[in-house]
Amino acid sequence: MTAQPGFTLQRPQPEALTVDLEGAWTLRALPPQPAALLAALDETVRRLAFTSDKLEDWDTRLLIFLKTLLEEAAVRDISVDRTGLPPGVQRLLALSEAVPEKTTYGATGREPLVTRVGRLTLNISGQTRDVATFTGEILLGFWSLFTGKAPFKSRDFFYFVQNCGVDSLPIVSLIAVLVGVILSFVGAVQLQMFGAQIYVANLVGLGMVLEMGALMSGVIIAGRIGASYAAQLGTMQVNEEIDALRTMGISPVGFLVLPRMLALMLMLPLLCVYADIMGILGGSLIGVTMLDLSLIEFLEQARKTIKLGQFGQGILKASVFGVLIGYAGCLRGMQCGRSALAVGEATTSAVVTSIVLIVVSDSIITFFLYR
């Protein structure tokens, strides 16, 4: 039969106290209260030791008891000898003391306004310095590229071109076709009331070329490629690979960021053209099936509507979006911390930043072009 948990106290010396642990210290048994032991830790006790010869079994119950006792001994400045405890107990106690207690979720007092303003100011200044440094390193990388000293390998660049372009065609095709169908269906509902179904082609053509082709391509690439760039660079930060590049005298921005940004700058305008074509074809599905228009008639009406300048406007927006997505994704990846949580935060921040920059830049470009 398993003995109940307990302890006995011995005073081999006036300033020393030895705790003899006995029985099975498990969660199935009711442990003794530590009050008697804590009361024995008076001002005369300067050393505390343990023996475990009569200890039959133990689990978390013993660790909780010992943790309470050790904290009280630390408060009273009593030295503790743990050699009499089982090796497993010693290792777990050492592990519990090696990991600091998390205070993130504890209740904290509200900081004064001056402190919060100062902390915010320091944060903004640090972010501004990081952005300026990152931008300067990108410009230096482009200068090295234009002077014939490419800071990256050509096969890396073509890999990112394939990743941004060919591998993105399926999702871009699906979204562009559905956007064209939606535009065509919404226009058909209203234009059928006036017998002007043929102008659905105008609506779809202009909508895709001016806005939706570039915008939807940018949003898709921001979620697919921008997040990927942030996760890749963030993981390299965690694994200290970027520090290793700096140690070898290789610029991480030129070697890692520049090929990614160039691939996006090159492929996003091409994806925009592809999305325009697929959107118009998607709109023609509604024109042919619901509005009794022939495919040739629909496409000819769209062709006569779209001007070269309008087509160039969409290409310009896509080019700007490519720069912004690559910049935001790589910036958040390079700013990533040294933990798995930081990688997830960097990935989320890259997507949010990219989409915000896309919408803001789209509004600015549209405003100035129409002015």
Return the pLDDT at 108: 53
The DSSP line for 169-180 is HHHHHHHHHHHH
Q: In terms of Cα–Cα distance, which of 304, 194, 321 is closest to 266?
A: 321
- Of 268, 258, 166, the closest CA to residue 222 belongs to 268
Residue 29 is predicted with a pLDDT of 78
Domains in the chain (CATH in brackets) are 6-98 (3.30.750.24), 130-370 (no CATH)
DSSP state at residue 247? H
Report the C-alpha gap between 117 and 312 in whole angstroms: 45
**Which pLDDT value is given to residue 23?**
84
Average pLDDT, the chain: 86
Task: Report the sign of the C-alpha dihedral through residues 38, 43, 48, 52, in that order.
Answer: negative
Q: Tokens in use for 347?
A: 């990935």
Q: CA nearest 31: which of 65, 77, 73, 2?
A: 65
Q: What pLDDT, on the 0 to 100 scale, is given for residue 102? A: 56
Query: What are the tens digits of pLDDT across the range 245-302?
Result: 888 888 888 899 999 999 999 999 999 999 999 999 999 988 888 887 888 888 888 8
CA dist., res. 289 & res. 112, Å (int) = 66
Share of the chain above pLDDT 90, in %: 33
What percent of the chain is predicted at pLDDT more than 70?
A: 96
**What is the residue whose two structure tokens read 């700013």?**
335
Structure tokens, 370: 């129409």
Residue 321: closest CA among 234, 253, 182, 223: 223
pLDDT (tens digit, 9 = 90+) per residue, 100-118?
555 554 445 677 888 889 9
Q: What is the pLDDT of residues 319-347, one digit of tens each?
A: 999 999 999 999 999 988 888 888 999 99
- Model pLDDT for residues 162-205, shown as the tens digit of each residue: 999 889 999 999 999 999 999 988 888 888 777 778 888 888 99
Q: What is the mean pLDDT of residues 208-228?
A: 92
- pLDDT for 30 equals 78
Residues forming beta bridges with residue 58, ordered by sequence position: 25
Beta bridge partners of 120: none
Q: What are phi and psi of 226, to 5 degrees?
A: -60, -45
Minimal CA–CA distance to 323: which of 268, 368, 370?
268
* Cβ-contact 295, 252 below 8 angstroms: no
> Which of 88-102, 129-143, 148-162, 167-181 is predicted with the least confidence, judged by mean pLDDT?
88-102
Check whether 152 has a pLDDT greater than 60: yes
- Runs of H (alpha helix) within the chain: 35-40, 60-75, 87-98, 113-146, 154-164, 169-191, 200-207, 213-221, 227-238, 241-247, 252, 258-289, 295-305, 308-334, 340-370
Strand order in 16-25's β-sheet?
6-10, 16-25, 47-58, 79-81
Contact 176, 213 (CB under 8 A): yes
